[in-house]
């Protein structure tokens, strides 16, 4: 993969996370009964940042969990045993869940995440926050909170880098090396 264009730097990502946090608070009339679940890997770091920002703004802590959706995907089945990285330290039943992912594309990851959540209990609601919405949906799923809408071609790949995992915060569009 070769970087084609840098879309967001650390400051732009921080502003997007702050905007998403404000929208979540406004839509839910505060932070009570909110629980944030980040989709492993980068969605987990973004979920922690959103929860921290909401706590700063509202003065109340928001619990965060992490969800590994690999076993629920319909497009990436593997027979290899994997370690499930899911960590949900709270019950799902009756909670307002904010599901966080780095990029929403076809909708398949989000569908898998909803299946995984609903298998653990009946949430009061599930809302979706995504740093990047790149379009090209295969399923009728949309994000409630979006950091940036980014029209892309099918040949492009959106790469979200987070400091905790990649050493820096940025969003880039990449292409195959031979394109």
Q: Report pLDDT digits (tens) over 66-79.
A: 999 998 988 766 66
pLDDT tens digits for range 21-35? 999 999 999 999 999
Per-residue confidence (pLDDT) for residue 84, from 0 to 100? 83
pLDDT tens digits for range 86-114? 999 999 999 999 999 999 999 999 999 99
Q: Label each residue of 114-141 as H, E or C.
A: HHHHHHCCCCCEEEEEEEEECCCCCCCC
Beta bridge partners of 149: 133
Whether residue 81 is predicted with pLDDT greater than 90 in this model: the reply is no
Q: 0.85 exceeded by the pTM?
A: yes
pLDDT tens digits for range 1-59? 899 999 999 999 999 999 999 999 999 999 999 999 999 999 999 999 999 999 999 99
Q: Give the pLDDT band of residue 179 (cuts 50, 70, 90).
A: low
Q: Give the phi and the psi of residue 94 in degrees, each rounded to 5.
A: 75, 5
Run of H or E including 16 = helix 10-28
């Amino acid at each position: 993969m070769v970087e084609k264009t840098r879309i967001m730097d650390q400051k732009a990502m921080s502003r997007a996370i702050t905007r998403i946090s404000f929208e979540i608070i406004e839509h839910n009339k505060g932070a009570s009964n909110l629980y944030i679940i980040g989709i492993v890997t980068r969605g987990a770091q973004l979920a922690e940042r959103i929860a921290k920002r909401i706590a700063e703004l509202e003065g109340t802590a928001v619990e965060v969990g992490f969800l590994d959706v690999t076993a629920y995907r319909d497009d990436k089945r593997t027979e290899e045993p994997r370690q499930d990285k899911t960590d949900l330290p709270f019950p799902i039943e009756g909670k307002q869940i904010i599901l966080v992912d780095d990029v929403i594309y076809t909708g398949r990851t989000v569908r898998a995440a909803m299946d995984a959540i609903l298998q653990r209990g009946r949430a009061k609601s599930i809302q979706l926050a995504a740093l990047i919405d790149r379009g090209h949906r295969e399923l009728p799923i949309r994000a409630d909170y979006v950091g940036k809408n980014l029209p892309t071609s099918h040949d492009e790949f959106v790469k979200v880098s987070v400091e905790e995992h990649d050493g820096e915060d940025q969003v880039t569009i990449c292409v195959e090396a031979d394109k």
